[in-house]
Structure 1
Amino acid sequence: MARRCRRLAGLLCALALAPMTGGAAPAATPASTKAAAPGAPVQVLVPSLESRGARPLELDGFWFTAPGEGRRPALVLLHGCGGPYDRQGRLASRMRHYAGLLREQGWHVLVLDSLTARGESELCTQRIGTRAVTMANRRLDALGALAWLAQREDVDADRLVLLGWSNGGSTVLSASNLTHDDVAAARPRPRALVAFYPGCDAELKRGYRPSAPLQLLVGLADDWTPAAPCVALADRAPASAPIAIERYEGAYHGFDSTAPVTRRKDVPNGVHPGQGVHVGGNAAAEQASRTRMLAFLNEQMR
């Protein structure tokens, strides 16, 4: 708990100095909302559907308010295995950039942290099957975030979105697959789903019935979460629930960044276990994927 408090205190300080702004505080919010410095996103506690004893597990989150009045659509941003923070403990540039991009469209944004409350800082170096935070955990987090958003007076509960990257993209798939009992029972359901380079194997093998329209964005050179299972997922989708997929030639994992491509030898998973994986940006894929993401979301938010 002490580590969590120190992290949150540092984050609020860093976010107050960051160029990204969160807009004015909403007129009415759940009791879990905490004060933040002017111009910074609001620190919030979001109940997961996972319980600890008699109480729900409370997750750290950062709430970016859209400019303007009235009820607005809202998106949950789901981080990858590295968590939502950078090496300095600040909210990662990817999260801040996308929050700003989406706010410009007039949409609220919630960045959700599934790791800190569970005593973890990253999952990337943990083998799949032994990870301390499982996909079942993250699915319950995403469903809890949707419920939290639906209770807000400034949110249009009929226009909610799950958007994730890598492990967070896999969470989007898991939290929208109606073959899971908890997903089928949960309300509200999202209006749209976006997954950047997710791992698609698990939901492909299970059988995927999406609760909302889905846009997949994958790199064909990805050797961490390969594109092929995602292509198969889209190909097998019924005509009544089609899945849109965009494939980017020469793009590795994390293509929507400006970072150079490097090989991470500390990652035990991937196409060639034990040999590491490639991660890094691709300028063409970065631009094309964001353009496609915004077009898809604007289509679905009508």
Structure 2
Amino acid sequence: MHLLQHLRSCRLWLFLSLGLGASAYGQPVSELLPSANGLALKVWVFHPPQQPSDTQRPVVVALHGCGGMYATVGSRKGQLSARHQGMTDLLLARGYSVVWPDSLTPRQETSLCEQRMASRQVRQSHRRSDVHTTLAWLAQQAWTDQQRVALLGWSHGGSAVLASSDSTQKLPPSSVTPDIALAFYPGCADALRRAYQPTWPVHMLLGALDDWTPAEPCVALAEKAGMSFKLYPDSHHGFDNPVGQVQHLPRVPNGQHPGMGVHAGRNPVTGPQAWQDVLDLLKTRWPVPIAH
């Protein structure tokens, strides 16, 4: 079964790389959630097919990176990016609902990637607020299985996983708390300096060649805070992107070597492995039947 699932994830990667990656599960529903400082937080909600609307199911709250949720070029422009849609479809096929909070466009931003850290107007405190606003909203939904909620974030969204789960920070009370949190290549240096301690189990998926958010601080954080992680060899930042190739991004100012840019792009071996690892971790945590 593990091999079959791995082949399915690889097949999805091939499908997306050919530019055919429209979701097989219909259009999402958008919701506006009242949030801090009068902000209306926009979330996109995807439900698995052929399930009654009030059937309780596991939910994955997915957190985009510094480039936002959406594809900016090509036939997918304005829709979820290939990586975001691909993972969403894998989760939907296994009976999970997926909720994407959009932390950028309600704040009049489209990308933070080429902004210096000190000048960013969207900070991790905002991402933490968005996560907990979404969790509070999920607590009110009849379809939420409140015992089976996960966070899943990439890069800046992976850092948001850390920020929203930090027991050293004051967190709002909620009847819904994540059962597990998964972070692809987060920035860990700040959490390491703050003596971060996770409120719930956190697992990190790290690229050994990442020069944007390097793995070393995350490995140190995991060892200090009792977290789990997996280090993927020969893998740059964004190694799980199902489309594109590794590129040098000279305009990104924040990285291991400031002023020299960073590298990001897919690894066709470790990317599908990491996606399968996500599915396996969730299945181990939530033993539910796989939809066919």
Identify whether the pair has TM-score above 0.5, normalized to the shorter chain: yes
CA distance, structure 1, for counterparts of residue 236 and residue 94 of structure 2 = 28
Corresponding position of 1:51: 37
Corresponding position of 1:132: 121
3-state SS of the aligned residue for 1:160?
Answer: strand
Corresponding position of 1:234: 222
Corresponding position of 1:204: 192
1:243 paired with 2:240, answer no
One-letter identity of the residue aligned with 1:72: R
Query: Of residues 179, 182, 188 in structure 2, which corresponds to 1:191?
Result: 179
CA distance, structure 2, for counterparts of residue 246 and residue 155 of structure 1 = 29
CA contact (8 A) 1:47 1:141 kept: no
Q: Compared with structure 1, are the counterparts of its residues 94 and 79 closer, same or farther at alpha carbon in structure 2 (3 Å cutoff)?
A: same
Corresponding position of 1:19: 22
CA contact (8 A) 2:138 2:176 kept: no
1:40 paired with 2:31, answer no
Consecutive unaligned residues of structure 2, counting only runs of 5 or more, are 1-19, 288-292
Query: Larger deviation: 68-77 or 261-270?
Result: 68-77
3-state SS of the aligned residue for 1:232?
Answer: helix
CA contact (8 A) 1:162 1:190 kept: yes
Query: Of residues 136, 154, 159 in structure 2, which corresponds to 1:165?
Result: 154
CA distance, structure 2, for counterparts of residue 20 and residue 250 of structure 1 = 30
CA distance, structure 1, for counterparts of residue 126 and residue 280 of structure 2 = 31
CA distance, structure 2, for counterparts of residue 291 and residue 21 of structure 1 = 19
CA contact (8 A) 2:87 2:275 kept: no
CA contact (8 A) 2:135 2:177 kept: yes
CA contact (8 A) 2:135 2:174 kept: no
Corresponding position of 1:9: none
1:217 paired with 2:202, answer no
CA distance, structure 2, for counterparts of residue 111 and residue 205 of structure 1 = 29
CA contact (8 A) 2:165 2:199 kept: yes
3-state SS of the aligned residue for 1:182?
Answer: coil
Alpha-carbon RMSD: 1.6
Corresponding position of 1:112: 101
Query: Of residues 43, 46, 49 in structure 2, which corresponds to 1:64?
Result: 46
Q: Compared with structure 1, are the counterparts of its residues 266 and 291 closer, same or farther at alpha carbon in structure 2 (3 Å cutoff)?
A: same
The number of equivalent residue pairs is: 260
3-state SS of the aligned residue for 2:199?
Answer: coil
CA contact (8 A) 2:42 2:102 kept: yes
One-letter identity of the residue aligned with 1:166: S
Instruction: Tell me by how many angstroms 1:233 deviates.
Output: 1.1
Q: Deviations over 1:156-210 (max 9, x none)?
A: 1121111100000000010011111125x44421111000000011111112221
CA distance, structure 1, for counterparts of residue 274 and residue 191 of structure 2 = 23
1:290 paired with 2:283, answer no
CA contact (8 A) 1:21 1:64 kept: no
CA distance, structure 1, for counterparts of residue 267 and residue 276 of structure 2 = 14
CA contact (8 A) 1:215 1:244 kept: yes
Percent of paired sites with the same residue:
42
Corresponding position of 2:7: none
Consecutive unaligned residues of structure 1, counting only runs of 5 or more, are 1-16, 23-38
CA distance, structure 2, for counterparts of residue 157 and residue 47 of structure 1 = 21
1:273 paired with 2:258, answer yes
